[in-house]
Structure 1
Amino acid sequence: MHTFMRDAYSKVYPESKQERPSPEEVRSSVRILDFHRKESDVWELCNLAVYLMPPSRYVALRYGLADDYDRLDRLHRSGPEPAYDEGVALESRLCRNAEKAAESIGDVRLPDFYLEKLNEELENLGRIAASPDAVHDILHISPDFLAKYGIDKNASATERSCQAEKAYRELDARFVRMTGRRPYADELFASIRRKREDSGIENRPRRAQRTILRNPPSKGRKMGI
């Protein structure tokens, strides 16, 4: 740990002129740390992704999260009304990168709270794909969720649906890798398309029907008694 942190400090503060460990020492220290810390690293990364809990300085540096986390921390300390849009963008990027790092660590079971959170997000993406106006559900759909998955609530309904479908397929594929379950995406979107086609048939305007007289009265003489 000392070797890794000394190397990281020297990179951030080159003016300190502190002697850096050799590249071989750093690579060796990283291999040892990765082997012994992988479970605790996954735990920290998942807590950062789900709850924005501050990671240790080592984890922030080891997985390339330090710059964004420090920037977000400065933004939160800058005053009572930080730049909202910048904060949302930073939080969503931190979340995505923490997830990517956690899922890249092999031979470690991901925590249940992490999988449950992602499953909830998968369901919300399916909702938006099927009904694009769901982006306006402020109780369940937050701005950072939309930013995280690249969904523009001001886009057209068709665009929002396509954005949500793309994000759903990507997250669904991640679930297959993480848990070994079967993929859900093809089945879900085939069902959505069928429902839309059936709805289109039901809502199609129908031609006005004329009353047809099978035996119209004769225009000639009236029948006598």
Structure 2
Amino acid sequence: MGPSSEAEYSAHAAARDRMVALHLRARGIHDRRVLDAMARVPRELFVPPRLVEDAYADSPLPIGSGQTISQPYVVALTAEAAGISPGDRVLDVGTGSGYAAAVYAAMGAEVLSVEYVPELAEQARRALTAAGFGGVDVLTGDGSRGLPARAPFDAILSAAAGDEIPPPWVEQLTDGGRIVMPLESGAGWQRLVRLTHLAGRDLIDDFGAVRFVPLRGEHGMR
């Protein structure tokens, strides 16, 4: 690593530390595993080169094909709401840039990720490999159907909003499994909700207003 790359590495590491302190911990993210993962994953590798300087701003950024990389706080909130533990089998719906999948993997999860747009799936595979998370399995297809052949899952996390939680996702959860996704509220905003499938009952928790792109596919936004 030459002097220039060493300086860039140090600058990005410092930016990650500031992001964790100012945009995550200060806003109420307390799960140590989430904070540690967000401090480790190099977000600059998941954004277009022209936006690298903005990689650690707490805002979504365009990544092409009409999609965005979610703001760091929302990724952290989703991961914390899901209660991811090492060894959990996680389905990530809407791979996008691959950044969220990397965060879940950094928390010790086995991550399978589904992306509707083939070009974005390939882009995410390259970014994940460059960032050291080549073990994340990125598939192209209709994530609204889940992945029945690879079920059950301890958590299903969606980076796209729907009118309702897709029934196949609930069917593919373990007992105690969680779904975290944004749902349309009918008031011009969406709400990030968590469904916990426990002993035959589905419990719902609300984590506040968010804004995501619509879920595509058979069980996507109507």
- For Structure 1 versus Structure 2, the TM-score category normalised by the shorter chain is under 0.3
TM-score normalised per structure 2:
0.25
Give the strand-richer structure, 1 or 2: 2
TM-score normalised per structure 1:
0.24
Instruction: Indicate the structure (1 or 2) with the bigger Cα radius of gyration.
Output: 1
